Amino acid sequence: MNKTMIIKAIALAAASVAVGAQADTLKKIKDTGSVTMGVRESSGALSYTLGDGKYVGFHVEVCTKVLADIQKQLGLAKLETKYQPVTSQNRIPLVQNGTVDIECGSTTNNATRQKDVSFAVTTFVEEVRIAVKGSSGITSIAQLKDKSVATTTGTTSVQLLRKHERANGIDFKEVFGKDHADSFLLLESGRADAFVMDGQILAGNIAKAKNPADFKIVGEVLSVEPIAIMIRKDDPAFKKAVDDSIIAQIKSGDLAKTYDRWFVQPIPPSNTKVGLPASDATKAAWASPNDKPVEDYMKK
């Protein structure tokens, strides 16, 4: 073994030790008295910012309650929650490397991601749809031929777009926003003819638009996807603590009330309604809590 190989071997060993050390999230939280929550800037009513470092939304509230339960479990008099904005591109690496302890955004649980991270039980089942301007005349994905279609870099919607492009022989131009607000701006400004994304993210961005009535969600359901809170892999104690809290919120009816607060009632800052009652698929996930990936939903 030459010198270069020895150095690489040592580096790999050190990385393995570091990852192993980070895997005990409950110990990390107890030792530091703090926890870092991954949040999103514009993930519809699931997770978004009000500015000045304040983050709100369905998943942010669910996670806040999870962390309150964990604080009690650990017997901590105080637990400081730090907020770390993440994007579709960096959310998984930031969970893996220990920067984020619990990611409370809009992440789809799929088999590929399960190789790198773990997911709590599903809290929301999403339908991927198409948002367009009402004046566009577009009502289905077939009408996207030769159009510009926006989606957000690093999301599963990119794969869905490519899949449907191949399946239907539709040629369209893909334009990418760096986050969901940026993607919606592409549609709003006319640089894109459509925005393909999770329905609640589309609805949330439409609700916050200058003229919400100018937009509508149309077309086929492109995918049904379980959305869940993301945590580090191979940390069963922390996963159990998170799952136990969510399941308790489900059983008490509190999760349904939290959902209603963010998706049915007016939300800040403009006090507009997303107007998206819990779907049958979401209610089914609550009735039988599980962490099944999207591939299991595709088999149905």
- The residue ranges of every structural domain in the chain are 25-125+227-298, 127-225
On whether the 127-225 domain is CATH 3.40.190.10, my answer is yes
Confidence of residue 113 (pLDDT cuts 50, 70, 90): very high
pTM of the model: 0.81
Average pLDDT rounded to a whole number, residues 80-88: 97
Listed residue (56, 212, 60) closest to 134, CA to CA = 212
Of the candidates 207, 195, 115, 211, the one whose C-alpha atom is nearest the C-alpha of residue 155 is 195
Rounded to an integer, the average pLDDT of 79-101 is 97
CB 230 within 8 A of CB 118: yes
**Domain 25-125+227-298, CATH:** 3.40.190.10
pLDDT value for 141: 84
Identify the band that residue 270 occupies on the pLDDT scale cut at 50, 70 and 90: confident
Same fold, 25-125+227-298 and 127-225: yes
Instruction: Count CB-CB contacts under 10 A for residue 260.
Output: 13
- The CA-based dihedral angle spanning residues 238, 72, 267, 182, taken in that order and rounded to the nearest 10 degrees: -30
